[in-house]
Amino acid sequence: MLSAWLGATLSGILLGLLYGLAAIGLNLIWGVMNVINLSHGAFIAVGMFASYFMANYLHLSPFLGVFLVLATGVVLGMITYFISLHRIISAPELSTLLATYSVSLIIIGLGTFIFTTNPRAIDITMGSVSVGGTVLPMTRILTGAFSVIFTLWLYYFLYKTWSGKAIRAVSMNRDAAELMGVNTTMSLALAFGIGVALAMTAGALTATIFPFTILSGGGYELKSFVICVLGGLGSPLGALLGGLILGLI
């Protein structure tokens, strides 16, 4: 009885960590630039497909490919920032909502056209660990561990590097950061890039556990919003904790 409870709890924690990672990207963009990124879910789905194609065509393990997804995501996110957000970043919030919603529609529209909405799954077998009668697949354990690693990495980046500190400064006072020599446009672009990259990373990891379609991001986007509210804005660790709460209930 107790051991079954322990297994279920562990499973919930691992899933919660992944939810937390998915939420961190949304949290970062919201906290730094006051933009509610409605393309968050679409980018999660893009990450799922990226992981899938790398596994199937490049025979790259999703747990290695995820680093490639992260790097690609930063670039993709920064390009998206300059195309869709840069000119309206100081406009009222409705403008940025509409802009990110359009990005979402474009991604999902193109994705549906190219990939259809048939479910796909990554064919991956990595064994499992049994905890008190509950079988925990290795993939689930790894996704949890990777979620923690990426969260700690973001923490390190924001608090220990010049670019990260610049992003935090911009989130507190953009004019003051600019007056100190920070190229705040690049900081905003980078923040959006990292937010998108983390969404894609979460998607890439999720795809090793669950089947998915181009529409799957929506559910995770909704969870991410809930987590942002639970965990508090502007703190990566808060988001991870929020994810844990959601994973356990």
Partner 1 sequence: MDQPTLRVESLETGYGEVQILWGINLEVPMGNLTSILGANGAGKTTLLRAITGILPVWKGKITFQEEDITRLSPHERAIKGLIMIPEGRMIFPEMTVLENLEMGAFNKKARANLKKNMEHALALFPRLEERLSQKAGTLSGGEQQMLAIARGLMAEPQVLIFDEPSLGLAPKLVIEVFEIIQKLKEEGITMLLVEQNVHLSLAITDYAYVLAEGKVVMEGKGEDLEESEEVKRAYLGV
* Site residues (vs partner 1, CB under 8 A): 162, 165-166, 168-169, 172-173, 175-184
By C-alpha distance, which of 84, 80, 32, 47 is closest to 193?
80
Q: Which is nearer to partner 1, 64 or 179 (CB)?
A: 179
From the CB of 236, what's the least distance to partner 1, in Å? 14
174 or 223: whose CB is closer to partner 1?
Answer: 174
SS3 83: helix
Residue recorded with tokens 């929506």: 218
Residue 208 C-beta: closest distance to partner 1, Å: 36
**Toward partner 1, which CB reaches closer, 32 or 76?**
32
DSSP character string of 104-128: HHHHHHHHHHHH-S--B-------E
Strands, DSSP E only, in 92-182?
128-131, 134-137
SS3 130: strand
Quick count: other Cβ atoms within 10 Å of Cβ 2? 7
Q: Shortest Cβ distance from residue 242 to partner 1 (Å)? A: 19
Nearer to partner 1, 86 or 168 (CB): 168
Q: For residue 134, count CB atoms less than 10 angstroms from its CB and return exposed for 0-12, middle for 13-18, buried for 19 or more.
A: middle
Cβ atoms within 10 Å of 61's Cβ, excluding its own: 16
Measured from the CB atom, the residue of 39 and 171 that comes closer to partner 1 is 171
